Structure 1
Amino acid sequence: MLQHNISNSDAYQRPVFGIKNKIKRAIWQLVWLILCRYSPIIFHSWRTTILRLFGAKIGNKNYIYPNIKIWAPWLLETEDVVTIGPGVEIYNPGGVFLGDHSILSQDSYLCGATHNYDSIDYDYISKKIIVKRYSWICAKAIILAGVTCGEGSVLGAGSIATKDLEEWTIYSGNPSKIIKERKKIA
Structure 2
Amino acid sequence: MDGQPRVIPLAEVPPAPTGWGRPGWHVALWRLTEWAVVSNALQPSSALRVAVLRRFGARIGTGVVIRPRVRVRFPWNLEIGDDCWIGEGVWISNRERVVLEHDVVLSQETFVTTGSHDARRDMRVVARPVVVRAGAWVTTRCIVLGGVEVGTSAVVTPGTTVRSDVPAGMVVGQPEPQVLRARFPD
TM-score category by the smaller chain? 0.7 to 0.9
Match of 1:184 in 2: none
* 1:173 is the counterpart of 2:174: yes
2: CA distance, partners of 1:175 / 1:94: 30
The C-alpha deviation readout for 1:4-50, integer Å capped at 9, x for no partner, is: xx9x8x226x354289665433321211222342311xx21111110
Letter in 1 for 2:80: T
The 2-side partners of 1:127 and 1:23 are apart by: 25
Q: CA RMSD in A?
A: 2.4
Give the distance between the partners of 1:18 and 1:139, measured in 2 at CA. Answer: 28
Residues 25-174 of structure 1 mapped to structure 2, 5 A cutoff: 25-36=27-38, 37=40, 38-40=42-44, 43-120=45-122, 122-173=123-174
Bigger relative contact order, structure 1 or 2 (CA pairs below 8 A, ≥6 apart):
2
Deviation at 1:67, TM superposition (A): 0.7
Taking the aligned partners of 2:176 and 2:147, their CA distance within structure 1 comes to 15
- Say whether the 8 Å CA contact 2:19–2:96 is kept in structure 1: no
- The runs of 5 or more residues in structure 2 that have no matched partner are 1-8, 178-186
Q: Counterpart of 2:35 in structure 1: which amino acid?
A: L
Does the 8 Å contact 2:143/2:161 carry over to 1? yes
- Counterpart amino acid of 1:135? A
SS of the aligned residue for 1:77 comes to strand
User: How many residues are treated as equivalent by the alignment?
Assistant: 166
SS at match of 2:92: strand
What amino acid does structure 2 have at the position aligned with 1:82?
A: C
Q: CA distance change for structure 1 residues 18 and 129 in 2, over 3 Å: closer, same or farther?
A: closer
Q: Which runs of 5+ in 1 are unaligned?
A: 1-5, 177-186
Tell which deviates more after alignment, 108-117 or 154-163.
108-117
Structure 1 residues 21 and 172 mapped into 2: Cα distance closer, same or farther (>3 Å)?
Answer: farther
Q: Which amino acid aligns with 2:114?
A: G
Separation in 2, partners of 1:53, 1:18: 19
Task: Summarize the Cα distance change of 1:115–1:57 in structure 2 as closer, same or farther, 3 Å threshold.
Answer: same
Q: Structure 1, residues 70-118: CA drift from partner, whole Å, max 9, x if none?
A: 1110000011001111000001111100011100000011011111122
Q: Give 3-state SS (helix, strand or coil) of 1:27's partner.
A: helix
